[in-house]
Copies of this chain bind each other. A is one copy, B any other.
Amino acid sequence: MELIHDASMRLLEEQGIELLSAQARQLFKQAGAEVDETSGIVRGPRELFMEALDHAPETFVLTPRNPDKALEIGANNIHFGFVSGPPNIHDHVNGRRPGNLKDYRKLVSLAQYFNVISLMGNQATAPTDLPANTRHLDTYRETILLMDKVFSAVPIGVGRVRDAVEMVALARGISTDALHRDPSVLTNINVNSPRKLDDTMADAAIYMAWHGQAVIVTPFTLMGAMTPVTLAGALVQQNAEAVFGLTMVQLAGPGAPCVYGGFTSNVDMRSGAPAFGTPENALANIAGGQLARRYGLPYRTSACNASNAADAQAVYETQAVLWSAVMGHGNIVYHSAGWLEGGLVASFEKVIIDVESLQTMACILQPIDVSEEEIGLAAVEEVGPGGHFFGTSHTIERYKTAFYEPLLSDWQNQENWQQAGAKTATTRATETWQKVLETFEAPALDPSRREALDDYVSRRKNEIGDGEP
């Protein structure tokens, strides 16, 4: 790890990062970095970066409109995030289609329904039926109305993150000043790897830092395309880019909550196609956690896959990176429910399949109770050699809650399963999400706050008009 750290510091010292935001370059110049205004390249000694990161908190709390769903980010906490970003939707009833607001609502409802999902990063799908310059207002409103958990601002330009900050303050019924001291919102900016940080993302991050909201900096890197083809090279570049972006956040708002992000997978070297859930992706998930901890920062990682269907491939790829995300001490695991087709699709069936395995993981992470009562030696004596435990009081007192009860798994024998239609898990998942959506009820919100949100959205839509890209 120290070799990776050292090489990434040399990268920042000798090669630097191209930074497209003038205000961000100004921050680095003031901190003593070497800034080339022609090329936009920023270089600096490692001390500059390490000192800036010293200001970043090791843990912080994000409080959504329902304070019971506040999240401590960092330490030993693991929070599973819903799929975010796909331009398309798929389910087994309606097939594949472009993202749209109606499906967006359904996806947010699913994210709200399942307790194992702690937060939503970016939009669960892009509602491509709405104008690109104002659709974030619609998705923020829908998200706040349907979900009382932490969610992410769209990290493209100051306008979009400011709208998130303002709207969450309205939803909580507090001022943006109060929100500064008690943050709610996070956003995730990507580095345009290799070595390029664009201005809309940089400026969004700076705005967030100024307002005390959380920024995740995640270099989006596919080994062989956007980084060297080696894991070591990819990790060095990821680390340099993440440290650079996080330094920018700390220079803008020293002490602002921020998160080290890793998103390093590889391409298929025969076709150039992106791949996820590969061994290389898994190793990067683990190594990213080591690097984040080296700097005392919370860690964001992901659990993705490249399958075209919610099938066995989707699951074994996802599991390889989910387990490595958790074993790597990921504090936030993005895309852990619903991601399909390398992120081009949000899949309803995959949401259900993933929730089952996230719930399983949450149970596995519970310590084993080894009290005398739980051990129950008297029950063993009572049953005797060759007997069974079904009828003992030790069993009867506990059987209802002794084991995880699955959401999707079917444990019938083959004959009964055949008679019930021989449905695979993916087929049963369709029934599960349909049932959830049929009975879903949005969490209550004070009508005056809802009105304030509606007013804000319509005022901003008027303001924006055809403007704001």
Q: Which residues does A use to contact B, with CB under 8 Å? A: 3-4, 7, 10-11, 14-15, 17-18, 41, 96, 192, 194-196, 223-233, 235-237, 266, 268-269, 271-275, 277-280, 282-283, 287, 306-317, 319-320, 323-324, 327, 341-342, 344-345, 353, 356-357, 360-361, 363-364, 366, 368-372, 374-377, 379-381, 383-390, 392, 394-395, 398-400, 402-404, 406, 408-414, 417-418, 422, 424-426, 429
Contacts and interface: CB of A to CB of B under 8 A. Distances in A.
A194 B384 contact: yes
Nearest to A322: B319
Contact of A395 (B229, B379, B390, B412): B229
Contacts of A385: 17-18, 41, 194-196
Contact of A316 (B357, B364, B387): B357
Given A278-B406, A312-B353, 13 more contacts: A7-B372, A7-B375, A14-B377, A41-B385, A194-B389, A225-B389, A226-B389, A233-B375, A273-B412, A274-B411, A308-B417, A312-B315, A313-B409
B425 A312 contact: yes
- Give the number of times this chain occurs in the complex, counting copies: 2
A403 B228 contact: no
B403 A266 contact: yes
Contacts of A402: 223-224, 229-230, 266, 269
Given A311-B311, A375-B236, A398 B279 contact: no
Contact of A229 (B287, B342, B399): B399
Contacts of A317: 409
A237 B311 contact: no
A360 B374 CA distance: 37
A17 B422 CA distance: 42
Contact of A411 (B273, B287, B344): B273
13 contacts: A7-B372, A14-B377, A194-B385, A196-B385, A269-B399, A275-B409, A279-B364, A283-B364, A306-B411, A308-B414, A311-B425, A312-B424, A320-B364
A198 to B, nearest CB: 10
The 9 closest A-B pairs by CB, nearest first: A279-B363, A18-B385, A319-B319, A313-B425, A311-B424, A315-B315, A312-B425, A195-B385, A232-B374
Given A10-B377, A96-B414, A319-B319, A424 B309 contact: yes
A306 B409 contact: yes
A309 B422 contact: yes
Given A374-B233, A403-B269, A408-B313, A379 B228 contact: yes
A424 B324 CA distance: 25
Contacts of A429: 312
Most B Cβ at <10 Å: residue of A18, A313, A384: A313
A322 B404 CA distance: 18
A192 to B, nearest CB: 6
Given A227-B389, A230-B398, A413 B311 contact: no
A387 B194 contact: yes
Nearest to A317: B409
B357 A235 contact: no
Nearest to A90: B414
Contacts of A370: 3-4, 232
